[in-house]
Amino acid sequence: MTTRNTKQAWLDAWLQAKPIDLNACKCGGRAYRFVLLGAPGVGKGTVAQMMAERLGLAHLATGDIFRAAKSLPAASLSPALQEAIGYMQRGELVPDQTVIDLVRERRACLHWPAGFVLDGFPRTVPQAEAFEQLMRAENLALDGVLNFELPIETIVARLGGRRTCSKCKAVYHVVNMPPKVDGICDNCGGPLIIREDDRPDAIRVRMDVYQKSTAPLIEYYRSRNMLITISAEGTPDDVFARTCKTAGIRCGGNPC
Ligand code: AMP
């Protein structure tokens, strides 16, 4: 089983709501289950991607579901999903119930044997409450909620240079993490694009939305003793190493 096939098992199940083959996971180690928090541009998607690649975790990003839906014919989408795409294009949050239903529909992904890293969900307190119930019903426990912090000027610089693979969703940065060939994904050869919601107008709305809707989640998880705050300064490798150290993650029994 190659890394690509292993990744494909949870990616198809997550993006296209296909059944998941849990036997595709050859991790053989302990599972890690984390939620990632942080303002847009803080680099949590990159850390999530590294956790997926290096620890075998399923990278479950709700934003990726909406972006994948956007490239499908409108007639094949449910009315709720069609409406959701409009919210995403404006940089606004999709209604809670739509997102909660989508995650619930894909709950088999939460059972990926190596564990998961949830990126972009929950995003509001009602979503966090619904997620807590879902985890309880599935008999699963979170290891923690990783909250990435970065000064605002650094965030703006990071967002401006971000490029995303239109095929496999891998994330790059023109300065901090360039692909080997300009504009081409190292993983799958797909074209790199600027995400619609990384354009300046949408970025402003997303920052605002984060302060109003997502920042309250920090208190929600702190009061439950689940919050692990991590500085997102430095290179992706620095942040990954700091994350493993702070959250007590061990790769194959050894510290990462
Ligand atoms: P992201 O890639 O996580 O920044 O998400 C991109 C966009 O998808 C957001 O700006 C929202 O429009 C939508 N979205 C993703 N996840 C959620 C969520 N948990 N709740 C509401 N909207 C979401």
Percent pLDDT > 90 in the chain is: 56
CA distance 252 to 256: 8
Q: Note the pLDDT of residue 184.
A: 96
SS3 (DSSP) at 255:
strand
Q: What is the mean pLDDT of residues 45-53?
A: 92
Q: Note the pLDDT of residue 181.
A: 96
| Any atom of ligand 1 within 6 Å of the Cβ of 131 | no
CB of 157 within 8 A of CB of 251? no
Q: Which amino acid, one-letter code, is at 164?
A: T
Q: pLDDT tens, 163-177?
A: 999 988 888 989 888
- Which of these is catalytic: 44, 67, 158, 169? 44
What's the CA-to-centroid distance between 40 and ligand 1, angstroms?
10
Place of tokens 């619904």: 130
CA distance 256 to 142: 20
| Any atom of ligand 1 within 6 Å of the Cβ of 62 | yes
pTM score:
0.85
Tokens of 233: 């300064």
Q: Is 129 exposed, middle or buried (0-12, 13-18, 19+ CB in 10 A)?
A: middle
Q: pLDDT tens, 16-43?
A: 889 998 888 877 678 999 999 999 889 8
First to last CA, the chain: 23
What's the CA-to-centroid distance between 26 and ligand 1, angstroms?
30
Tokens of 21: 């083959």
